[in-house]
């Protein structure tokens, strides 16, 4: 194994690669075009990042690798993994709903690796803020999703203006129809869709008309772990979340019409355990780093089979066991792609309402751009807030904000101690994140 890859894995605290990741590392550098087919959550990101880390040289003066993703959240996730690898490669992430001015300023220093969504990348390329003429790696991550979301024109434009030596396509489903600009005769495919199949238990929960919300409540009172409840439309997520909050269920809703900072905040609260319930559209079905989802509930059954497949992929990620529950109305039956013989959920007699989690999220109005890091926050909360290390949960540091999970029982006392204190000499706003 190359020393740069060994060092990156050590920084990421990864002891062993999966067979799929080994395949990518060994075989992608040997071909011009590589296609990786593997389910959501199986570790595809490392599959393409490790060859880039191995091949690229820091501060070479031009963009060596371009990684195109369909969503902002996925772009941010890939950037965080690459930075955590401590590869020394200068990395920049660009996407819509984010300050264009800041991106322009950042691009005055050419990154080694550029990560972004199709529309924003096209904007930078069209205005000649970036050049792809000396590109060595072009990664089209979640390529099937890019096509499904209508980005074919943008990707074609990027393709025509790039001069990459190698191309890496990743996908969570088989691509039935390739765009004309891709020479499919030149593709080397590694298919792990079957081998990396997650360990998921499928269950049905039948309900009668007008009893849908009570049916969902039965499920939430039966399964108390981290859960995503999928709806087909934004309005449904909002109505359902509002109803659950009125019933005292700590739920978060998540959809594409939310502002980017709001989406980030809700994902942070879901990841760090502040809330165990995310009520979401298919935006949450793929491309997000949400580990250890125990239960996926199809509150509304999707109209297409591939959406159904991607939702299911949120459970049982990375060899963990998961559970998928389909809410089915007795009067309507099921769609063709839904198994007919699913076992039914057994609802216990002594159901208990989900309680508030043990964690709450604190917001700090400073982040990477203010030179604040995780170590600073741990030190501050320990010294000024008298917290023990085990009382400090997941820490997320963004460009201009930071979020820390704190035991709910400690929040009131903690805020009294730290509200007027400075972090690294800076007076920051500190409050409970909502």
Tokens of 237: 């997520």
Burial class for 432, CB neighbours closer than 10 Å (0-12, 13-18, 19+):
middle
Dihedral over Cα of 50, 54, 58, 62: its sign: negative
**Is the domain of 8 the same as that of 87?**
yes
Residue at which a domain ends, from 329, 350, 369: 329
Q: Of 77, 262, 261, which Cα lies nearest the Cα of 253? A: 262
Cα 213 to its chain centre, rounded Å, is 28
In this model, does residue 318 exceed pLDDT 60? no
Domain CATH code at residue 291: 3.40.50.300
**Is the domain of 248 the same as that of 120?**
no
pLDDT digits (tens, 9 = 90+) for 241-260: 999 999 888 899 999 889 88
In this model, does residue 50 exceed pLDDT 60? yes
The pLDDT of residue 351 is 81
**Dihedral angle, C-alpha 208, 225, 272, 252, nearest 10 °:** 10
The pLDDT of residue 405 is 96
Domain residues for 305?
A: 199-329
In this model, does residue 89 exceed pLDDT 60? yes
Task: Look at the chain and count its residues.
Answer: 434
Mean pLDDT within 198-212: 86
The pLDDT of residue 198 is 67
pLDDT digits (tens, 9 = 90+) for 127-162: 999 999 999 999 999 998 898 888 999 999 999 999
The gap between the terminal CA atoms of the chain, to the nearest Å, is 45
Give how many domains the chain has, as a whole number. 3
Q: What is the DSSP letter of 185?
A: G
* Predicted structure pTM score: 0.71
The pLDDT of residue 326 is 94
The pLDDT of residue 333 is 64
Query: Does 347 reside within a domain?
Result: no
**Is the domain of 137 the same as that of 279?**
no
The pLDDT of residue 235 is 95
The pLDDT of residue 310 is 83
CA distances from 333 to 57, 192, 347 (A): 57, 32, 21
Contact indicator for 359, 406 with CB cutoff of 8 Å: yes
Tokens of 64: 């060596």
Contact indicator for 299, 238 with CB cutoff of 8 Å: no
DSSP H or E stretch at residue 411: helix 411-418
State the pairing for strand pair 395-397/402-407: antiparallel
The pLDDT of residue 193 is 85
State the pairing for strand pair 430-432/359-364: antiparallel
């Amino acid at each position: 194994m190359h020393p740069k890859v060994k060092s990156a894995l050590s920084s990421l605290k990864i002891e062993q690669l999966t067979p799929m990741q080994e395949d990518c590392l060994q075989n992608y550098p040997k071909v011009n075009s590589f296609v990786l087919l593997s389910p959501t959550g199986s570790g595809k990101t490392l599959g393409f990042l490790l060859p880039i880390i191995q091949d690229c040289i820091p501060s070479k003066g031009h963009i060596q690798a371009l990684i195109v993703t369909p969503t902002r959240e996925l772009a941010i996730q890939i950037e965080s993994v690459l930075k955590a690898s401590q590869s020394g490669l200068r990395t920049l992430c660009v996407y819509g709903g984010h300050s264009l001015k800041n991106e322009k300023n950042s691009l005055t220093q050419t990154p080694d690796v550029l990560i972004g969504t199709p529309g924003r990348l096209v904007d930078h390329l069209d205005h000649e803020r970036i050049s792809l003429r000396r590109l060595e790696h072009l990664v089209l991550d979640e390529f099937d999703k890019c096509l499904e979301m209508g980005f074919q024109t943008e990707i074609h434009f990027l393709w025509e203006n790039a001069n990459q030596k190698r191309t890496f396509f990743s996908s969570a489903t088989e691509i039935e129809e390739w765009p004309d600009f891709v020479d499919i005769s030149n593709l080397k495919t590694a298919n792990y869709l079957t081998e990396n199949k997650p360990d998921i238990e499928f269950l049905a929960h039948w309900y009668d008309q007008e009893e849908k919300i009570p049916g969902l409540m039965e499920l939430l009172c039966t399964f108390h772990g981290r859960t995503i409840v999928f709806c087909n439309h934004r309005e449904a997520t909002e109505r359902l979340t509002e109803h659950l909050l009125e019933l005292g269920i700590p739920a978060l809703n998540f959809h594409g019409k939310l502002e980017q900072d709001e989406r980030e905040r809700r994902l942070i609260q879901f990841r760090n355990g502040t809330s165990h319930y995310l009520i979401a559209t298919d935006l949450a079905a793929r491309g997000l780093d949400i580990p250890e989802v125990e239960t996926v509930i199809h509150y509304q059954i999707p109209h297409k089979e591939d959406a159904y497949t991607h939702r299911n992929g949120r459970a049982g990620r990375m060899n963990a066991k998961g559970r998928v529950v389909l809410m089915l109305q007795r009067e309507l039956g099921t769609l063709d792609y839904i198994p007919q013989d699913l076992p039914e959920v057994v609802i216990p007699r002594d159901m208990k309402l989900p309680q508030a989690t043990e964690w709450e999220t604190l917001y700090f109005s400073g982040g990477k751009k203010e030179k604040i890091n995780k170590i600073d926050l741990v030190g501050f909360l320990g010294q000024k807030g008298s917290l023990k290390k085990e009382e400090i949960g997941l820490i997320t540091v963004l460009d201009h904000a930071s979020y820390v999970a704190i035991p709910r029982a400690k929040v009131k006392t903690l805020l009294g101690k730290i509200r007027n204190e400075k972090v690294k000499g800076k007076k920051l706003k500190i409050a409970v994140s909502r």
